[in-house]
């Protein structure tokens, strides 16, 4: 017995000694794993434009260490020291262990499953155990799910039967409406349909930056920032300054010019949705590299702050002034086409006044058309056909904004040539699809802030959009900080208009008072 006890004690002592020897290796291994996890998390969260410089810096550092005497040995030693420091404390610094859903979360999942049964179940579905049945459970249908700290669904990946018509927009909307209602209202959800694998992923979208004010965005000539969208939706970010400092946000950039496939823009929304805000933002950005002519059909004076600014030939709000200004735009477009054609025939460069962009901003043209018909005058929308048809070659860009109630009164030319489109406000998926040609991948917000909506440039995807705050600086209710931000972007009055004035003189006097009529 004593011999057995002595052998057991020796074995225990040997095991303890081996554990003591292996303990440093365990600590170093844990530290290396944590360093790798932190590095991968930083790399995935870093913006695209920062990864290249950091990768180059790491490469140069590794090369420099390799060339130094005893550099690799010192580097390995330093790495082991850092890993040992990082791996101390056992499992304290490990990622928190995932816990399963509680009774309340399980009840939510079962409620979601039962709500989806009428959408996916079919009486003649083959198989002994269908995915969705009135007496079934969610275990086989819901593959992945996660919850917020409040117990609300944050992400859900579910399977649906192969017989479901996932190519039918109405069937998809039915399922999305059910999930939107049962997963919790008051939030925006993204629905990712995987038709090949019969999977549907629901995820909660973070709020878009609504506190970004108009400012000089870092863009090239011919690029206009319509607003900002979700991370990962576009392969680009822009530095902006807001109430929290400077940060990088993904923009929705609209490109215009002779090589643009969507040279004109149409904005639709309800009163208070932010359509005029988007037009002011576009006009302020356009003044950096071109001239802006404004026709305001609403007559509220929301663009009066541009009157008399260099590069602004006219700001019109009356029917007579709008007709005169748009007739001048027609003549100017034809002059630019003819001058550019002659210069190319002669082998000369196109004159600068022809290449300088001219922006025609029209707010609520349907109301102007109604007033013109009441006075027996020509429809102002008829004059938009020439700049819309030939504007891309003549460096003329047309931006039109209208309310949904007047959308049916838009001219055919406006509908046909505005391939860049924006929908603002709390609109249904059917209205968004009717304007953009494709439904949004995210459910509309129930009470969106001003300037929130969707944008689609040509045949691209439908993107969520938040327009930068660009209020009327003459409005008494405008915040002082936002007022100063808009005024800082405008050219000072009294300076020469430059190429815009030269172009107007070269084209001759415009028809009967295009500037004075609206003032």
Q: Is 271 annotated as a binding residue?
A: yes
Q: Is 111 known as a binding-site position?
A: no
Under 8 Å between Cβ of 451 and 469:
yes
Helices (H), 249-364: 275-286, 319-346, 352-355
324's CB contacts (< 8 A; 6+ apart) are 316, 510, 511, 512, 513, 514, 517
Q: Is 151 annotated as a binding residue?
A: no
CB burial string 455-467: b at 16+ within 10 A, e below = bbbeeeebbbbbb
Q: From CA 421, how far away is CA 411, in angstroms rounded? A: 15
Going by their DSSP bridges, the two strands 314-316 and 265-269 should be labelled as unpaired
Q: What is the dihedral of CA 418, 422, 426, 431, to 10 degrees?
A: 30
183 among the known binding-site residues? Answer: no
Q: At what angle do helices 169-182 and 103-120 cross, to 10 degrees?
A: 160
Phi, psi of 295 (to 5 degrees): -120, 115
**Residue 270 assigned ligand-binding role:** yes
The count of C-alpha atoms lying within 13 angstroms of the C-alpha of 442, restricted to the half-sphere facing its C-beta, is: 26
The CA distance from 298 to 262, in Å, is: 26
Are 421 and 436 a contacting pair, CB within 8 Å?
yes
Would you put residue 70 in left (φ > 0), alpha (ψ -120 to 50) or beta?
left
Contact, 210 vs 249, CB < 8 A? no
- Consult the annotation and say whether 274 binds a ligand: yes
List residues bridging with 23 in a β-sheet. Answer: none
Question: Is the CB of residue 341 less than 8 Å from the CB of residue 347?
Answer: no
Helix-helix angle 365-374:319-346, to 10 degrees: 120
For residue 113, give the H/E element and its range.
helix 103-120
- Which pairing describes strands 189-194 and 199-204: parallel, antiparallel, or unpaired? antiparallel
Annotated binding residues, written as ranges, equal 269-276
Annotated binding residues for ATP, written as ranges, equal 269-276
């Amino acid at each position: 017995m004593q011999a057995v006890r002595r052998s057991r004690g020796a074995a225990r002592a040997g095991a303890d000694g081996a554990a003591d020897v292996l303990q440093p290796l365990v600590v170093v291994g844990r530290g290396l794993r944590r360093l790798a996890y932190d590095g991968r998390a930083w790399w995935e969260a870093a913006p695209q434009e920062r990864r290249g410089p950091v990768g180059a810096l790491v490469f140069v550092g590794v090369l420099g260490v390799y060339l130094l005497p005893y550099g690799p040995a010192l580097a390995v030693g330093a790495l082991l020291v850092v890993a040992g420091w990082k791996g101390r404390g056992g499992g304290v610094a490990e990622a928190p262990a995932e816990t399963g859903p509680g009774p309340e979360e399980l009840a939510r999942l079962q409620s979601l499953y039962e709500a989806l049964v009428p959408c996916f179940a079919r009486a003649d579905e083959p198989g002994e155990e269908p995915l969705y049945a009135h007496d079934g459970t969610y275990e086989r249908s819901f593959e992945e799910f996660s919850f917020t700290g409040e117990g609300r669904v944050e992400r859900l990946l579910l399977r649906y039967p192969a017989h479901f018509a996932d190519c039918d927009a109405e069937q998809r909307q039915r399922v999305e409406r059910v999930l939107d209602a049962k997963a919790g209202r008051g939030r925006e959800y993204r629905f990712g349909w995987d038709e090949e694998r019969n999977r549907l992923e629901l995820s909660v979208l973070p709020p878009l930056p609504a506190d970004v004010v108009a400012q000089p965005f870092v863009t090239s000539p011919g690029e206009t920032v319509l607003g900002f969208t979700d991370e990962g939706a576009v392969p680009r970010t822009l530095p902006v300054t807001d109430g929290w400092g400077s940060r990088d946000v993904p923009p929705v950039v609209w490109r215009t010019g002779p090589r643009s496939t969507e040279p004109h823009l149409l904005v639709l929304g309800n009163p208070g949705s932010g359509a005029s805000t988007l037009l002011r933002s576009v006009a302020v950005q356009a003044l950096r590299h071109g001239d802006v002519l404004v026709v305001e059909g609403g007559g509220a004076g929301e663009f009066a702050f541009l009157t008399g600014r260099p590069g602004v030939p006219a700001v019109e709000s009356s029917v007579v002034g709008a007709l005169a200004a748009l007739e001048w735009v027609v003549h100017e477009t034809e002059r630019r086409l003819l001058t550019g054609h002659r210069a190319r025939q002669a082998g000369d460069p196109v004159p600068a006044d022809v290449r300088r962009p001219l922006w025609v901003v029209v707010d609520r043209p349907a109301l102007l058309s109604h007033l013109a018909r009441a006075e027996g005058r020509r429809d102002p929308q008829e004059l938009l056909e020439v700049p819309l048809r030939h504007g891309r070659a003549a460096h003329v860009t047309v931006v039109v904004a209208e309310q949904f109630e007047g959308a049916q009164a838009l001219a055919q030319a406006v509908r046909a040539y505005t391939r860049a489109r924006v929908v603002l406000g709390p609109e249904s998926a059917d209205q968004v699809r009717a304007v953009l040609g494709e439904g949004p991948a995210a459910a509309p917000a129930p009470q969106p802030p001003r300037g929130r909506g969707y944008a689609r440039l040509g045949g691209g995807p439908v993107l969520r959009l938040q327009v930068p705050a660009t209020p009327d600086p003459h409005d008494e209710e405008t915040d002082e900080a936002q007022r100063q931000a808009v005024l800082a972007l405008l050219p000072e009055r009294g300076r020469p208009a430059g190429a815009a004035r030269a172009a107007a003189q070269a084209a001759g006097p415009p028809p009967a008072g295009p500037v004075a009529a609206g003032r």
